[in-house]
């Protein structure tokens, strides 16, 4: 992404408070809370979807704003996150659904909701998921090589690392991790598993570290990109996101707003292209909105957050196709 493509958000303090129901728990801190509220503009009586509930920080703000007659429906495909979020949202007009967000058209149909006023998707994972060594998302916490968001189904990272061909591993690490040493890493993985299966995250992180030349200019932990790639592949994140983005016009009613926050360029590109190339959306953020300095200082994870928002176009006022774009 070009630097001039980035629209910087003003430095706005995070939701305050360090305990109880407020936004700043000791773990996950919701990113860009003021910007989310400002684009969605939730009001009493509205129906809003939080497609990625997490620990419920954004849902809490939204549910308060649509009270008392509106409702927020929060989805997460990780049952553990729903269990964490629910106590914070008690007493508010909120309902949790354990599902992947690309199931939303079916979910709304079953609830007889023809379209919602607003939708938020804050992609990726929560600090709680990353910090739980038992889930296998983090190279810095020893744990089983799992990485499934929904632990009730699908292949784990261990299945991929221990069984994929060297070519497929290199391809996956390159494509989803944008890792330039992907071939070397895949070669080291395949060599090592010939002696002994990979069982845990620390084991894999050590082999990746050995495969990468000592002077990687990026300065990030050598296993960062490989772990990101495996997580994306295990959860089929890009394919699920693409399906979900394509279904957004069925979910958000004309006049309603969709806000999507992504954390890496592969996701952000998909969001940008969906809003730009579809006749259904009027773009509200010409450039992605990013956290200001104050938010980044309080919440380092917000550094890579990119927010894009668009309004669902009213079919009675179609967009005009001009200069290769819908305007």
Ligand X SMILES: C[S@@+](CC[C@H](N)C(=O)[O-])C[C@H]1O[C@@H](n2cnc3c(N)ncnc32)[C@H](O)[C@@H]1O
Interacting residue ranges for ligand X, rule: CB under 6 A: 28, 30, 52, 54-58, 75-78, 81, 100-101, 122, 124-126, 149, 240
Nearest to 113 by CA among 45, 65, 42, 47: 47
Q: Is the dihedral of CA 256, 260, 265, 266 positive or negative?
A: negative
Q: 76 vs 146, which CB is nearer to ligand X?
A: 76
Q: 107 vs 294, which CB is nearer to ligand X?
A: 107
Q: 78 vs 146, which CB is nearer to ligand X?
A: 78
The minimum distance between CB 19 and ligand X, in angstroms, equals: 16
Q: How far apart are CA 273 and CA 34, in angstroms?
A: 25
Q: 100 vs 221, which CB is nearer to ligand X?
A: 100
Q: 55 vs 310, which CB is nearer to ligand X?
A: 55
Q: Are 148 and 156 in contact (CB under 8 A)?
A: yes
The minimum distance between CB 175 and ligand X, in angstroms, equals: 19
Q: How far apart are CA 186 and CA 169, in angstroms?
A: 6
Contacts 24+ apart (CB under 8 A), 267-275: 267/123, 267/124, 267/237, 267/238, 267/241, 268/1, 268/306, 268/308, 270/238, 270/241, 270/242, 270/245, 271/245, 271/308, 272/308, 274/245, 274/246, 274/248, 275/308, 275/310
The minimum distance between CB 149 and ligand X, in angstroms, equals: 5
The minimum distance between CB 307 and ligand X, in angstroms, equals: 12
Q: Which residue is nearest to ligand X (CB)?
A: 54
Cα three-residue angle 263-27-270, rounded to 5 degrees: 15
The minimum distance between CB 132 and ligand X, in angstroms, equals: 11
Q: 56 vs 70, which CB is nearer to ligand X?
A: 56
The minimum distance between CB 259 and ligand X, in angstroms, equals: 11
SS3 assignment, position 86: helix
Q: Element (H or E) spanning 144, and its range?
A: none
């Amino acid at each position: 992404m070009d630097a001039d493509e980035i629209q910087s958000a003003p430095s706005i303090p995070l939701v305050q408070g360090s305990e109880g129901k407020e936004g700043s728990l000791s773990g996950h801190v919701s990113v860009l809370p003021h910007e989310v509220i400002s684009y969605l503009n939730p009001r009493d009586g509205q129906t809003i979807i939080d497609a990625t509930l997490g620990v419920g920080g954004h849902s809490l703000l939204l549910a308060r704003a649509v009270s008392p007659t509106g409702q927020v429906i929060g989805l997460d495909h990780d049952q553990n996150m729903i269990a964490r979020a629910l106590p914070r949202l008690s007493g508010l007009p909120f309902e949790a659904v354990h599902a992947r967000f690309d199931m939303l058209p079916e979910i709304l149909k079953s609830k007889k909701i023809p379209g919602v006023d607003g939708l938020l998707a804050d992609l990726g994972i929560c600090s709680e998921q990353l910090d739980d060594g038992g889930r296998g998302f983090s190279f810095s916490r020893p744990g089983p090589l799992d990485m499934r968001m929904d632990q009730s189904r699908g292949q784990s990272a261990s299945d991929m690392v221990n069984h994929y061909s060297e070519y497929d591993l290199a391809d996956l690490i390159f494509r989803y991790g944008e890792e330039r040493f992907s071939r070397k890493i895949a070669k080291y993985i395949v060599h090592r598993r010939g002696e002994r299966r990979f069982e845990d995250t620390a084991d894999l992180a050590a082999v990746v570290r050995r495969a990468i030349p000592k002077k990687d200019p990026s300065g990030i932990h050598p296993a960062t990109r490989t772990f990101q790639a495996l997580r994306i592949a295990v959860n089929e994140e890009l394919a699920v996101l693409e399906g979900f983005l394509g279904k957004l016009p069925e979910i958000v009613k004309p006049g309603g707003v969709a806000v999507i926050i992504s954390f890496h360029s592969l996701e952000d590109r998909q969001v940008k292209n969906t809003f730009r190339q579809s006749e259904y959306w009027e773009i509200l953020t010409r450039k992605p909105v990013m956290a200001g300095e104050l938010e980044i200082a309080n919440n380092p994870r917000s550094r890579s957050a990119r927010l894009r928002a668009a309004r669902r176009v009213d079919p009675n006022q179609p967009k005009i196709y001009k200069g290769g774009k819908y305007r």
